[in-house]
Amino acid sequence: MTAFIIVDHPDQWPLQFPGAEVISADAYLRDERLSGLSQARVYNLCDSYAYQTAGYYVSLLAAARGQRTMPSVATIQDMKSRSLLRADDELEEMIQRSLHKIVSKRFELSIYFGCNLAERHADLSRALFNLFPVPLMRASFSKSSTTGKWRPSSIAPLPIGDLPASHRTFLRGVIENHFARRGPAGRSGRTVQYEHDLAILTNDDERSPPSNREALRRFERAARANGFDVEFLNRDDYGRIAEFDALFIRETTNVNHHTYRFSSRARTEGLVVVDDPESIIRCGNKVYLFELARRLGLAIPPTMVVNTAKTEEIVRDLGLPCVLKQPDSAFSEGVFRADTQKDLATGLQRLLSRSDLVVVQSFMPTEYDWRIGVFDRQPLFACRYYMADGHWQIYHHGEQRTKEGESETIAVKHAPREVIQLALKAANAIGDGLYGVDIKTVNGRHVLIEVNDNPNIDRGVEDAVLGDELYDRIMKVFRTRVDAGKQFKPAG
């Protein structure tokens, strides 16, 4: 992929890199040759991004040309927002820790692709780059005369002419490292040139990740076969999202979580993203799913949504035992069975301390739950997840370890037609993303339990029937969606 470093005055840019062409902003805006290069990466290092300046138009036209650009126009606009400069608790702590030894009342931090020359400012530099992905920027801080605390006052691009000569060696190393990971010539040692770039978000420390290591390797292989260069990201790579064409989240998602922020930023930057923000919000709350199922007339267990710990009405309408669900519970955590009215009162009190609403359902014991995988509004796989040995759930979370029930994958065409139809109705009401629809069959009646975004796809389980074809189907959809986005031309 071609890379352009755009500057106001190329003669002032002190560094050259293989595979990256340094050109002026004026040449980028006027050269017809550059307008047709959709497979290009643009690093906008103009001195100003002010509205309707050359720097602003570089990022704006790069987006119109289908080129990946840093910073995007969305980031340029975010830099003007005072609300984003109001530090949250984590950033606030980072600012005070990083700057507490500085004696003066004002301080400017030079940030080069998320890095600073001083190691003590490394965490703060990365955090600000994640918030404002700008290649070269200057963050200004002032110290309160009353509290003695540091506050961010502005974020602005760092003009090339202001680069200290003593920083050039460090800057070269930072950019070379950046290009080596996600650079114009591809990662070190790679000779294959890919048409698109796919980021896969994972968490190596996650206890129950949605894909095991072998499945991730299969995803990577399938992605490359479909024209994607692939890089695995973690939560510290938030500022790099705009460098990619697509984002595939393979970490358990939650609304109040960095996975949602990754998804939302990817959507803002124009990436194809799975899971998309709407799916995370909708699937991440069982109150929403209950209301949706009721509106669509889908079969569900007898259900109540309650906001008090009064138990008499629940016992009267649902009976005992019943199941209490924290609205944003996942992997059987935050889900309790109440066998007695005392259990019910205790469980409600616990869950209502975390959420103003709690979902309560009649207990429907079954040997297994159906899990139907749906992607792009089509069924992908069909599994039976059996309850953990001696337990009423698929997962049994003990103090030492989590026990998981057995599983059985069958061909979609061999699954009950009514189960597939119910899964498609539920999933397609959420969106066109990747979902796992859980269904119970009780006395011949199929009832919807929930729709999960970011469903498990593990090597040896969900792919037991399709094998590598499952991964290829998913990556083909990514490719189709990215190609469709690249072909879009603004009207007029």
- CATH code at 380? 3.30.470.20
Kindly state whether residues 384 and 481 are assigned to the same domain: no
Q: How far apart are CA 324 and CA 348, in angstroms?
A: 7
| 280 in any annotated domain | no
Task: Quote the tokens at residue 12.
Answer: 């002032």
Residues of the chain under the 70 pLDDT cut: 1, 82-85, 87, 181-192, 331-333, 396-401, 486-492
Q: Which residues contact 300 (CB under 8 A, 6 or more apart)?
A: 290, 293, 294, 361, 447, 448, 449
What CATH number does the domain containing 339 carry? 3.30.1490.20
- pTM, rounded to two decimals: 0.83
**462 domain-assigned:** no
Name the 3-class secondary structure at 70. strand
**In this structure, are 319 and 378 located in the same domain?**
no
Q: Is residue 290 part of a domain?
A: no
Which of 362, 381, 402 marks a domain boundary? 362
Please tell me whether residues 198 and 333 are part of one structural domain. no
Q: Is residue 240 part of a domain?
A: yes
Q: Do 79 and 43 belong together in one domain?
A: yes
The parent domain of residue 256 ranges over: 194-275+467-487
Contacts of 325 (CB under 8 A, 6+ apart): 286, 334, 335, 351, 358, 359, 360, 361
pLDDT tens by residue, 425-434: 999 999 999 9
CA 115 and chain centroid, separation: 23
CATH of the domain at 204: 3.40.50.20
Query: What span, in angstroms and rounded, lies between the C-alpha atoms of 384 and 370?
Result: 5
Please tell me the distance from the alpha carbon of residue 266 to that of residue 68, in angstroms, as a whole number.
12
Please choose, from the candidates 286, 215, 235, 204, the residue with its C-alpha nearest in 3D space to the C-alpha of residue 452: 286
Residues 175 and 221 in one domain: no
Which pLDDT does position 229 carry in this prediction?
Answer: 94
User: Of 312, 344, 362, at which residue does a domain stop?
Assistant: 362
Task: Quick: pLDDT tens for 436-458.
Answer: 999 999 999 999 999 999 999 99
3-state SS assignment for residue 404 = strand
Judge whether 60 and 44 are in contact, CB under 8 Å. Answer: no
Asked if residue 157 belongs to a domain, the reply is: yes
Residues 60 and 104 grouped into a single domain = yes
| Separation of alpha carbons 118 and 161, rounded Å | 21
**Residue 8 belongs to some domain of the structure:** yes
Give a yes or no: residue 443 inside a domain: yes
Based on the domain organization, do 310 and 261 belong to the same domain?
no
End-to-end CA distance of the chain: 28
How many CB atoms are closer than 10 A to CB 188? 9
CA-to-CA distance for 209 and 456, rounded, in angstroms? Answer: 8
- CB-side neighbour CA atoms (13 Å) of 135: 30
For CA atoms 275, 279, 413, 476, the dihedral sign is negative
What is the domain count for the chain?
4
Output the average pLDDT for the chain: 90
Domain boundary among 132, 166, 189: 189
Q: Which two tokens stand for residue 233?
A: 């990201």
**What's the pLDDT at 134?**
94
Phi-psi domain of 345 (left: phi exceeds 0; alpha: psi -120 through 50; beta: other) = alpha
What is the model's pLDDT at position 45?
A: 95
Task: With beta carbons less than 8 A apart as the criterion, state whether 287 and 359 touch.
Answer: yes
Domain check: are 138 and 173 in the same one?
yes
pLDDT one-digit tens code per residue, 220-249: 999 999 999 999 999 999 989 988 999 999
333: its two tokens = 């955590």
Does some domain include residue 68? Answer: yes
481 and 432 in a single domain? The answer is no
Residues 340 and 475 grouped into a single domain = no
Instruction: Based on the fold, state whether residues 33 and 145 are members of the same structural domain.
Output: yes
Assess whether 358 and 379 both reside in one domain.
no
